[in-house]
Amino acid sequence: MLVEETESRTKPERRGRQVVRWLAGAILVLAAGLGAFYGESTAPTRPSQEMAKQPVVRDFVRVLDLIDEQYVVTPDRERLTRGAIVGMLHALDPHSNFFDRREFSEMQDEQSSHFYGIGVTINQRNGRIYVLGVSEGRPAEKAGLRYGDALLAVDEHSAKDWTQSDALQYVRGERGTTVKITVERVGEPAPLTVEIMRDEVPYPSVRNAFMLRPEIGYVGLTGGFNQETSDELHNAISELKEQGMKELILDLRRNPGGLLKQAIQVSETFLPRGTEIVSVRGREGRYPSQVYRSETTNPETLPLVILINGETASASEIVAGAMQDRSRAWIVGEESFGKGLVQTVFRLRGGTGLTLTTAKYYTPSGRSIQRPYNGLSFYDYFSTRRVDEESGKNSGATKPAAKSSGERGNDKFYTSTGNEVYGGGGIRPDTVVKITDEHIPLRDACFEFARLLVSGTGQNLPEYKIKQTEHGHRLRGNEFPVTESVIQAFREFVRLRPQLQVRETEISNRLDYVRRRIRAELLTAAYGLEIAEQFLIESDPQAMRALEELPKAKRLSDQARLFPTHTAATD
């Protein structure tokens, strides 16, 4: 999501006795508040009165009347209001959205680089929710939660059939409040329940930074763009320079975006003063169009490769697009998501809010990278994969997107050094490296096996027992080798558990993957998620290709310094 930090407060709506008046009033006043923000009127009644005259509004009120009078049970007013508003917003585009009080608070917390919770990483494995890691010094670690704990209940609410989102809803809360967590732990005869007081938990943008090779640094900017993003990036670069970094790989994969201002500031880190970063254009007469240029007088000049994939979206696409159009970085990976819309945040009554698309953004060459959404359902827009341009086959989608940036249409543009780029559906990498989907049952089986292994029970491999996570460890490369004894134990483990849905042939065919995955789980339990990610980067085909493309990045950076403010031509 790409948002601006503008807010608007609506006037209080008047509640009627009937659900019809209550809901219709809420929607009409919502429209009034937005109209006032854009300068239509300072009074909320004028747009409401005009809208009430429309035939569609009369039909809407009639439908609500029938619901109120005839529906089989008494209607849930809050649910109806939310459904009507969300439906109205999604009729505009997939990124305009309504947030209830909890969701809106969480969104604001994440944009401020923190939230209130217990400092635990949880996710689903084999249909259950597990603790995958705890943050150093945070409430969950102090309370004794550890890798592999299976979540059974939160405040006596059963966690059965929960998704990760369900679990987070109950675990997070207001600062200073307590939450009871009940877990199943390997080796313990009965469930354990701990009471934990919620506290502030950091939500960093930079999730990892280390020396990948001598003189080559890696920064994982994968946690979105919040108010601290550019500062975190500068700190990471400074620390890596002290370790001898002369070239940089910046990982924007899985980065969903965030604040527009931070996308601009991150881009400024690498672009000289006066260089265009992005232009934002809204509805004529309602939203001021603006061109954002770098104001940095001393940008970083080290060679830069940027990693992107299909989950790179919005603010992270602004950065990748600016770097590509200005020939400042070599882009490696898979085509990005393709979100070229800007949302403004509106705070509504009672702590709710919405994000409304108020503008589109364009990269320096003039291209919009917004993927098509007309004619697609909300589900298909977010879940559909693009047609594989090399094979012409649809890779598992319900149907292909209407158009991808790789199609050679009229949307041709040029970078500052004359390379062709295309709009209309994401940033296409300079070097495309596709990664096949992870084998989820095999991954989950490796997790279940490692969970048992680190507990020291049932495997006759006591050297792999891990009592607690040791934070701050520096990866040497020889920790927890996955020996043949471990592989044999894994084969036997899987054989006795057909519910894991992993066949012996799959283990044999993907033995290298099994070794890496088991070792990554052991490193997670012993040293935390960051260390495991560092290990996995070493076998990541996109990251390894990024290393190979650094000479091209160096040539680009040398060329860019010759023409720092060159204006790109367009067709």
**Which residues are marked as active site?**
314, 325, 339
Whole-angstrom distance, CA of residue 561 vs CA of residue 122: 45
Find out whether 329 and 306 touch, Cβ atoms under 8 Å. yes
Q: How far apart are CA 356 and CA 354, in angstroms?
A: 6
Residue 550: beta bridge partners?
Answer: none
Three-state DSSP class for residue 17 = coil
Q: 499 φ, ψ to 5°? A: -65, -15
Residues in a beta bridge with 421? 413
Instruction: Give the integer Cα–Cα distance in Å for 169 and 203.
Output: 16
Instruction: Find tokens 């702590």 and name the residue.
Output: 351
Q: Distance of CA 355 to CAs 3, 23, 196, 242, 378, Å? A: 8, 20, 33, 41, 16
For residues 136 and 527, give the distance between their C-alpha atoms in angstroms, rounded to a whole number: 10
SS (H, E, C) 145-204: CCCCCEEEEECCEECCCCCHHHHHHHHCCCCCCEEEEEEECCCCCCCEEEEEECEEEECC
Q: What are phi and psi of 92, to 5 degrees?
A: -85, -55
